[in-house]
Amino acid sequence: MNSKEKHTHHHDIDSALKSRLILSIALTAVIFVTELVGGYLTNSLALISDAAHVFMDVFALSLSLFAIYISEMPPSETRTWGLHRVEVFVSFINSLVLFLLTLFIFYEAYRRFLSPEPVKSAGMMVVAVVGLAVNLVVALWLRRFALSDLNIRSAFIHVVGDAAASVGVIIGAVVIYYTGWFQADPLISVLIGLIIVSGAYRIIKESSHILLEGVPRDIDFNRVMEDIKSANGISSVHSLHIWSICHNVYALSAHLDIIPTQRWRMGEIFDEINEKLAGNYHIFYTTLQAECSGCDPGDVFGKVAHKERNHGHSH
């Protein structure tokens, strides 16, 4: 397959993925509204809780679609990395809001445990079954893309989790229908709330790690350093920084001490290191500096120099 055919093939995959994502978002949004209205009409806290979980799916799918469009936007003079970091920031805010929403669900569940309220179990079951069916369809649509795309895999996991939550709502509806035990409704809502809290916590943790420019969690800092040092001609590595632009775009900068007799092949050495970083760690954005006379070779991380603050004092 030549480069033109590869580009066309990649474009066809992106177009198919965009179409499936748009349809998945539309269907999932319909389920969100259906469960929200159904929860209100049947007086089911479990359905309302599941609607909140479905909202996570709508957001995750929308974010996946958004990330595809963002990746196609060129950088600018004011934003040289483009808008990739927006994806992370929006993830953080959304998860924080969902975390706060779950606190309300827990409060309402506690109140209903103390004073059970009647629930229309038949309507509750119908809505949950429809929600489960749609989630399974969306999961099947995305499964092939989730195998090779980290961005889509995150959305796929959300959808599968919501399918499991829908099963929980159906079980609760069956219990209420046959036993009249209305506490099953707030019990299921608490379980769904725990799923939401767990997912929101993971996203908040990962998003804040990226926003604080931490080393990507799937990268071993020391192993990267050893790989760089193993390149023929490198005597030491210092001022090494590894961070994420967004969830699947990694960057690296480092100062390299090159053996004097090998400096003539500096370009070749850099090419070898870049190839290792791309192949082993998915790091495609690198800034490598050689022969740094003002650096401390023992300073692995490199001291961060803050801009001097002008306090308005005259000297």
Q: What CATH number is associated with residue 229? A: 3.30.70.1350
In whole angstroms, give the CA distance from residue 86 to residue 205: 16
Environment class of residue 137 by beta-carbon count within 10 Å: exposed (0-12), middle (13-18) or buried (19+)?
Answer: middle
Q: For residue 33, which of 156, 131, 133 has the smallest C-alpha distance?
A: 131
The residues pairing with 255 across neighbouring beta strands, listed in sequence order, are 238, 289
Q: Which of 175, 191, 211 is the last residue of a domain?
A: 211
Instruction: Supply the pLDDT for residue 162.
Output: 83
Shared-domain flag, residues 122 and 137: yes
Confidence of residue 302 (pLDDT cuts 50, 70, 90): low
In whole angstroms, give the CA distance from residue 161 to residue 163: 5
Q: What CATH number is associated with residue 14? A: 1.20.1510.10
Q: Is the pLDDT of residue 315 over 50?
A: no
Mean pLDDT of the chain: 84
In whole angstroms, give the CA distance from residue 236 to residue 298: 9
- Give phi and psi for 76, each to the nearest 5: -130, 180
Question: pLDDT tens across 172-214, in order?
Answer: 999 999 999 999 999 999 999 998 888 888 888 988 999 999 9
Confidence of residue 93 (pLDDT cuts 50, 70, 90): confident
The residues pairing with 236 across neighbouring beta strands, listed in sequence order, are 257
In whole angstroms, give the CA distance from residue 185 to residue 120: 10
Q: 101 lies in which domain range?
A: 3-211
Look up residue 249 and give its DSSP letter: E
Shared-domain flag, residues 152 and 234: no
**Number of other CB atoms surrounding residue 127 within 10 Å:** 27
Burial 139-172 (b: 16+ CB within 10 A, else e): bebbeebbeebebbbbbbbbbbbbbebbebbbeb
Rounded to 5°, angle at Cα 283 from 277 and 287: 85
Shared-domain flag, residues 260 and 156: no
Shared-domain flag, residues 248 and 204: no
Shared-domain flag, residues 242 and 195: no
4: left (phi over 0), alpha (psi -120 to 50) or beta: alpha
Q: Which of 211, 241, 275 is the last residue of a domain?
A: 211
- Please report, rounded to a whole number, the percentage of residues in the chain having pLDDT higher than 90: 43
Confidence of residue 59 (pLDDT cuts 50, 70, 90): confident
* Cα distances (Å, whole numbers) of residue 211 to 143, 154, 208: 29, 18, 5
Shared-domain flag, residues 43 and 160: yes
Shared-domain flag, residues 146 and 114: yes
In whole angstroms, give the CA distance from residue 165 to residue 187: 12
Domains in the chain: how many in total? Answer: 2
| Neighbouring residues of 209: CB distance < 8 A, sequence distance ≥ 6 | 217, 244
Instruction: Supply the pLDDT for residue 99.
Output: 85
- Give the DSSP H/E element, type plus range, for residue 90: helix 84-114
Question: pLDDT tens across 102-112, in order?
Answer: 899 999 999 99
Q: Give mean pLDDT, residues 120-126.
A: 93
Shared-domain flag, residues 74 and 186: yes
Shared-domain flag, residues 239 and 301: yes
Instruction: Supply the pLDDT for residue 291.
Output: 66
Shared-domain flag, residues 82 and 188: yes
Q: Give mean pLDDT, residues 69-89.
A: 81
Shared-domain flag, residues 22 and 113: yes
Count the alpha carbons within 13 Å of 79 in the hemisphere toward its beta carbon: 10
- Please report, rounded to a whole number, the percentage of residues in the chain having pLDDT higher than 70: 86
**Number of other CB atoms surrounding residue 191 within 10 Å:** 17
Q: Give mean pLDDT, residues 91-114.
A: 88
Shared-domain flag, residues 258 and 205: no
Q: Which of 177, 211, 245 is the last residue of a domain?
A: 211
